Structure 1
């Protein structure tokens, strides 16, 4: 009974910690219409991918078309040869118009087949296909030179009655204005999040107006359509452009209001989240849909939006884990137990829903298992009042690496694992953080900041600092190099991302915290552990 007030307070704090970032928002932002002009339509479901040649069935496409038809006037496709179904015939059955596309790449034979199929589809369905899109971002990817693209446009234009266009990011229309003479419509992509200078949601409508003004001045008298416009619901920040469900809803509502006011010809990207896109674009690439990959509406068209509609389940899981860890620790240290319970729930929330294939699933399972074991070891250590100065063997990653070499030779005495498992696991998480941080420095564009993967290690470091439980042995060379390298890489990452990227700054602070136990004698002294005597 004496623990009830503390437990009640911790349960309330847990609920608040999950509710605050997921409270209702954006209810005041109106949507002027429930029916949109056009939406990119890629009917791939989890496990399907054009990269592996695994396509949806005709029945699945029919079901997806029935789902989107009440919300859109038209759909845009990107390839003419994908799947064993007639996309134009299905669209016609559901009363939808079609922006029919052909995918052009570096394979000349494949390009010829795509164009032939596009021409056949346009001729066979003149009442459904309202325009043909010859290539998508070919110039951006540098798959074809402008002359080859122009030849493809001229070929299609001579063979079909519908307006012919090419779609690319607006900057590439500025770079190659000669392409405009060979199309009936200038189709531009406006994606404020992805551009070289990202624009946040608040500035995105002004940016869209400015881009349209530039295109109209560059191509006077030529019809201009927006072939892709949208916002992602998940992924890394770029400058102050923040992917989120709430931001996606706000962007959509504001853009539709702009489109209605200025009578814009536009196509939203996209109907459904496409899990397969993570391979080339990271988590953010799989998060542009108005519906999830499970075909659930991502947010209501009107009224308030929650960032994570399932927040209550995660809060309940965090509370249950906190209570379970508290009980397992002999009903001691409820604050630490609940901190670890919340960290584990956050780790699950940030990894498992984004395990898009078996490899990511395996990585998530290994990470969660490691974090779970580390949480139990920390509680065991704290409950027994243990510090490293009372432990056995070398400390930190030097000990971890040495034991790995011994284990690979089959000579490790596992009976003493309780004396070194905690420090070794901390060391391997430190090494993993260094690897990921270096990737964020040298190849950051499609990589998320890995808060969830280090939720428990961050609690561990904070708890050790609070208890003054720093390594009793002075860090060995390996641990010092890893910690120092992580700290330097974290500072470099923060500098490269810039002060506008609050997510990057937050992760850099977390990386410095992870590196702290292995840094300098001065830090160790300040946090309660004097430098041991001797060399």
Structure 2
């Protein structure tokens, strides 16, 4: 098996960029919600990016909405040195009975979703072409093939989207997904991609901090064993700081645990030159249930008011 160092070096050759700290960025504050079309302002995004510029050079964006347009505009206008992985917000193209919170859609809704996805791909192509200096890579979707997803997209559709993107822009193309599908169903997609992007969350899989990093390494190595000649990056890895016990035990979510995992993760990935996007920059109160302790709301290294959590106070 080739080493992760060899794999990651090929990422640097592919992009022409040096290894650097990377983070997932969504700038939604209190009262803002992409589902309602309420987006951060130019001034708010600028404030965020100036804060993040102290520690990170790579940012991952999840869609091609007004928020992404604002981020790219701020970077260009303010001459900020960020490299962007631009994503698309995929909607379900098939129902998924395995989704625990429900993902059944009628034919009319599925056709609407397919039109949405096609339009989103068009926006991705347009933004990547307009900002070639900032957008270093693009992703055809996020967690759209894992067994529990509420926005399932068939692999053949993903393949078609990748081919369409590659016919129109020069940037490398990937797909961001939990590590498991990369070991089985995504083989046809891997053949079309320039590199693989995996997600690894020990805390979601009931691991504690003592074995968390080893668990992450195992996730990475499982995918590497299946695809030893394809570059692999980590596009999500992190630790939530609060939980209501739904999916993550309350005792296993804290700022101290986030700090410990972050330090271990960065030490390993920096040494091995594995490009790794930490999840995530800021807490996002719009996510998940109405419960304020909902773990989906608390993955940020900064609170929603932009105050640093313990992990950044010690960085």
TM-score by length of 1: 0.48
Counterpart in 1 of 2:84? 98
**Would the aligned equivalents of 2:243 and 2:249 in 1 still touch at CA under 8 Å?**
no
SS in 2 for 1:39: strand
Which structure has the greater CA radius of gyration?
Answer: 1
Rounded Cα–Cα distance in structure 1 between residues aligned with 2:25 and 2:44: 13
Counterpart in 2 of 1:227? 235
Cα deviations by residue, 1:227-260 (Å, 9 ceiling, x for unpaired): 1000000104536970101000111011101111
Rounded Cα–Cα distance in structure 2 between residues aligned with 1:126 and 1:153: 18
Counterpart in 2 of 1:208? 216
CA offset at residue 41 of structure 1? 0.7
SS in 1 for 2:202: coil
Are 2:197 and 1:187 equivalent residues in the alignment? yes
Are 2:158 and 1:149 equivalent residues in the alignment? yes
Rounded Cα–Cα distance in structure 2 between residues aligned with 1:266 and 1:241: 26
Are 2:279 and 1:269 equivalent residues in the alignment? yes
Rounded Cα–Cα distance in structure 2 between residues aligned with 1:287 and 1:104: 23
CA offset at residue 288 of structure 1? 0.2
Rounded Cα–Cα distance in structure 1 between residues aligned with 2:24 and 2:161: 22
Cα deviations by residue, 1:140-187 (Å, 9 ceiling, x for unpaired): 225211111111111112211111000000012123122211111100
**Equivalent residues in 2 for 1:431-510 (5 A)?**
none
Q: Which is bigger in relative contact order (C-alpha 8 A, separation at least 6)?
A: 2
Cα deviations by residue, 1:59-101 (Å, 9 ceiling, x for unpaired): 2111111111111011100000234843223234221110111
CA offset at residue 303 of structure 1? 4.7
Counterpart in 2 of 1:497? none
Are 2:62 and 1:78 equivalent residues in the alignment? yes
Q: Which runs of 5+ in 1 are unaligned?
A: 1-34, 305-535
Rounded Cα–Cα distance in structure 2 between residues aligned with 1:127 and 1:144: 30
SS in 2 for 1:276: coil
Equivalent position to 2:207, from 194, 199, 203: 199
Counterpart in 1 of 2:26? 42
Give runs of ≥4 in structure 1 deviating > 3 Å. 82-86, 236-241, 300-304
Rounded Cα–Cα distance in structure 1 between residues aligned with 2:211 and 2:58: 28
CA offset at residue 279 of structure 1? 2.5
SS in 2 for 1:138: coil
Cα deviations by residue, 1:335-371 (Å, 9 ceiling, x for unpaired): xxxxxxxxxxxxxxxxxxxxxxxxxxxxxxxxxxxxx
Counterpart in 1 of 2:288? 278
Counterpart in 2 of 1:248? 258
**Equivalent residues in 2 for 1:107-122 (5 A)?**
107-122=113-128
SS in 1 for 2:252: coil
CA offset at residue 199 of structure 1? 1.2
Rounded Cα–Cα distance in structure 2 between residues aligned with 1:86 and 1:234: 30
Rounded Cα–Cα distance in structure 1 between residues aligned with 2:213 and 2:48: 30
**Would the aligned equivalents of 1:77 and 1:99 in 2 still touch at CA under 8 Å?**
yes
**Would the aligned equivalents of 1:91 and 1:97 in 2 still touch at CA under 8 Å?**
no
Tell me: CA distance 1:245–1:87, structure 2 relative to 1, closer, same or farther (3 Å): same
**Would the aligned equivalents of 2:302 and 2:312 in 1 still touch at CA under 8 Å?**
no
**Would the aligned equivalents of 1:43 and 1:272 in 2 still touch at CA under 8 Å?**
yes
Tell me: CA distance 1:300–1:279, structure 2 relative to 1, closer, same or farther (3 Å): closer
**Would the aligned equivalents of 1:132 and 1:165 in 2 still touch at CA under 8 Å?**
yes
Tell me: CA distance 1:275–1:154, structure 2 relative to 1, closer, same or farther (3 Å): same
Q: How many residue pairs end up in the alignment?
A: 268
**Would the aligned equivalents of 1:153 and 1:183 in 2 still touch at CA under 8 Å?**
yes
**Equivalent residues in 2 for 1:343-382 (5 A)?**
none
Counterpart in 2 of 1:168? 177
SS in 1 for 2:191: helix
SS in 2 for 1:225: strand
Counterpart in 1 of 2:136? 130
CA offset at residue 280 of structure 1? 8.1
Counterpart in 1 of 2:97? none
Counterpart in 1 of 2:96? none
**Would the aligned equivalents of 1:102 and 1:118 in 2 still touch at CA under 8 Å?**
yes
Rounded Cα–Cα distance in structure 1 between residues aligned with 2:38 and 2:73: 21
Counterpart in 1 of 2:302? 291
Rounded Cα–Cα distance in structure 2 between residues aligned with 1:132 and 1:157: 10
**Would the aligned equivalents of 1:199 and 1:241 in 2 still touch at CA under 8 Å?**
no
Are 2:43 and 1:59 equivalent residues in the alignment? yes
Counterpart in 2 of 1:29? none
